Structure 1
């Protein structure tokens, strides 16, 4: 099956980040569209690899954190 390149890039970025990142920060670092970032994030959340930390009610204030084991 495999995974999409953007999913792998988002995962690697979150693994290397010392703090949670917002969707906007991920888009800026990887130079990808909001749609691509959101689809990649959704896939990682579905896999249980990352989780959303909702800071406020808006999409722009969601931070993403990798799961720690």
Structure 2
């Protein structure tokens, strides 16, 4: 079972709704409404500009290893 399947099968009541949860939800709702209205532009992802992306390819299933 993949991690996505595990997350999708989490029960609805996993998060306890308290005052902090409600404040975070309100702040995120306001953030998303500002982004959708165009008043706020989210920052771009500059991680690829800072770090070198490496590619890893395993040869564990290659026929040469048999």
TM-score scaled by length of structure 2: 0.27
Structure with larger Rg:
2
TM-score scaled by length of structure 1: 0.26
Of Structure 1 and Structure 2, which has the larger fraction of its residues in strand?
1
